[in-house]
Structure 1
């Protein structure tokens, strides 16, 4: 495991899996995952917003768990599996994304990647969550446009679709 050095400007090699592919890159260990994804790797689906872990726009999965990439340092990613919104659907559209489209679970779309990531994590842990459990799982994601009605409908629709498959 890489440990942060006293000289936080020092670069070291970071090895992890990103969206299913191995990645090895020299980074400052004190650099935030959000900036590595967006600035260094061009994965702009992960949104930059509050940068203090309150809005969820930068949510990614690290070893299957939702985390705010704005609070995650490079050294914390060593050996981990990271999944961004770009990595969830492969060649097509994920059924959760489709449900957000069908149910009006977005307006401006800025929060949508973080919301989708949180829903994926929820449904991985609990295939049939209650509305309270859905709300709790999304409590770290803020939306300023929709009022959450469309988002909750989208999650329920995705759950129903999964049950029919």
Structure 2
């Protein structure tokens, strides 16, 4: 089947099988390898992208289901050499270690801040509760998102 998906502001049309997953479309068909595939069970959240501004695990979405919609990947966060505040927050507050979960965490954080620019610690923890990080205790990830909230200026990627 032929589909067209808007990814990071650009339309892509491809022939795919109906069972083709969005994560595979992004990584294999478009070469956007920032979206990680971690667990094969939709538990880890490393593959999280924004679909029409909402975080989804791209390993649970068929590419055909995203046809006609807007998808934002971690590659969309940096614009013209400027890091998104969530990216900068992860640097400033040491919110990553191995980095495998980071793309999903960043996209989840961006979706949260787009919806709620001043979240509480509890709201941040709730938002990232579907993301698994095996290296950290989440404390620095929470601090990184708090930093991003304090330093954001109407940044609304994927909203």
TM surpasses 0.5 = yes
CA contact (8 A) 1:58 1:68 kept: yes
Stretches of structure 1 that go unaligned for 5 or more consecutive residues are 1-11
Select the structure of larger CA radius of gyration: 1
Structure 1 segment 62-141 matched on structure 2, within 5 A: 62-92=51-81, 93-141=83-131
Q: TM-score, normalised by structure 2?
A: 0.92
Structure 1 segment 39-78 matched on structure 2, within 5 A: 39-78=28-67
CA contact (8 A) 1:51 1:71 kept: no
Q: Which has the higher contact order (CA 8 A, sep 6+)?
A: 2
Q: CA deviation at 1:89?
A: 2.0
- How many residue pairs get aligned? The number is 153
Q: CA deviation at 1:88?
A: 2.0
Stretches of structure 2 that go unaligned for 5 or more consecutive residues are none
